[in-house]
Amino acid sequence: MIATTPDFSPARILVVGDVMLDRYWSGQAARISPEAPVPVVKVKGSEERIGGAGNVALNIAKLGGKVTLLGVVGDDPEGERVRRLLEAEGVVCDFVVAEGARSICKLRIMAQHQQLLRLDFEDTPIAFDGAQMSAKLKRHLPVHGVVVFSDYGKGTLADVTNHIAAAKQAGLKVLVDPKGVDYQRYQHADVITPNLSEFSAVVGACTSEGEILDKGRELLQRCKVQNLLLTRGEAGMTLIRETETHSLPAQAKDVFDVTGAGDTVIGVMALGVALGLPLHEAMCLANLAGGIVVGKLGTSTVSVEELSRALHGDRGSQYGIVSEDELMHIVARAKAHNEKIIMTNGCFDLLHAGHVTYLEQAKALGDRLIVAVNSDASVKQLKGESRPINGLKERMTVLAALACVDWVVAFEEETPERLYCRLLPDVLVKGGDYVSDQVAGGDCVIKAGGEVRILQFVEGQSTTSMINKARGTA
């Protein structure tokens, strides 16, 4: 069993498949249209993410692997946007640009963190120069160790059988996320990763565990594939091989959105294979990663920190020190469960009884408490060159140990205004003699329907007085 999170940086992975742009328009739905019996969504925000094979590549890059992505995009702004988003995350993109074709784009309309409608913009199967794709593939094979074929049935992998043959001839390991019912197309792949629904569409309904294993082995033999990784939702995962099987229970505590979970699973499996891990150990990592992303909204990725916390079984991604991006997903999930989010900020240089009392009072205002902590540089800017006494890591560690604190996040700016405006807690709490309209970020929170609360500090308790007392100058 894996004891530590591997260093994924030596992995060199080529991803080939259908590339998509996922757009999200989100807002509040508080009434029904007078024109038709449909909800009216007042759009307040929009976001773009990468879907399909691009999401597989992005998952690999986020975990530190080196990844090149081959796909097809149209000669349009969406295709260029896909490229820019991926290259910003370190993915090397080598696309076939199909003149006159439309890049695949999916627009999801969200309200109260729930999907109301999806609009697909695509002309599939997409028409492109297959010879150009084959040439690109053969050029990249010698400098990679693993290739992932991510098939969403949009036409990019129309010649996947020959692509797999070329990859195997070059000595690469081949993983396939399949589509459709003709798995003969994927013959000689090392691993295929269908979900249970896709598997059943190929082999027929299975009424028992034994039948799943028998039909799985029959499928491997018929398609000349070595390994079948079956993702089974609440039942976890099963790795089926000719002479052995390995099963793992599902890791997700709360399933929030399964969009893109299969991309994460095959991406992490590919990383494990590239590092030479036994397949059952790579499956363990993939299972943990899949359990993380289904707790996030929309197409998502996993960070090394999240995977490490899940692997070591501590308080995990539900509590403790988190990155800003992680916190965005966590807060969305908490709000979807009708949890009231409280947020405050400070330097918290020398934690004292006054701080603890203040934080306990803040937590009592809702369900979850986020504490945003000034970076060392911003503390110096606010308090002078002699501060902080304790570094950022130490200050965050002490705060995360408090029972009243759910999540701790750092910020670099002098004020947390940008962070508050991004996270939009239900209640922004500030201590001292402030009035609501003087609190940084308060305007954003109030406009979003939240409130600002001012709490009084405990008399006689301050970091400065503690420092002066220690120096004998109090």
The token pair at 106 is 């999916």
CA distance 297 to 327: 12
Among candidate residues 257, 263, 349, 426, the one labeled active-site is: 263
The token pair at 44 is 């307040």
Q: Which residue has the tokens 């701790």?
A: 408
Give how far Cα 445 sits from Cα of 51, 274, 422, 427, Å: 31, 45, 9, 8
Q: Which residue has the tokens 């990155």?
A: 323
Sorted by sequence, the CB contacts under 8 Å of residue 327 that are 6+ apart come out as 370, 407, 409, 423
DSSP E strand stretches across 320-376: 320-321, 341-346, 368-374
Under 8 Å between Cβ of 264 and 289: yes
Burial category of 334 from C-beta neighbours within 10 Å (exposed 0-12, middle 13-18, buried 19 and up): buried
Encoded amino acid at 305, one letter: E
Under 8 Å between Cβ of 341 and 331: yes
Under 8 Å between Cβ of 399 and 423: no
Annotated active-site residue 254? The verdict is: no
Under 8 Å between Cβ of 232 and 195: yes
CA geometry: angle 367, 373, 379, nearest 5 deg: 155
Give how far Cα 313 sits from Cα of 282, 293, 398, 403, Å: 17, 16, 20, 18
CA distance 340 to 321: 19
CA distance 53 to 177: 9
φ, ψ (nearest 5 deg) of residue 45: -160, 160
Give how far Cα 386 sits from Cα of 342, 345, 346, 392, 412, Å: 31, 21, 17, 14, 18
Any idea which residues carry the catalytic annotation? 263
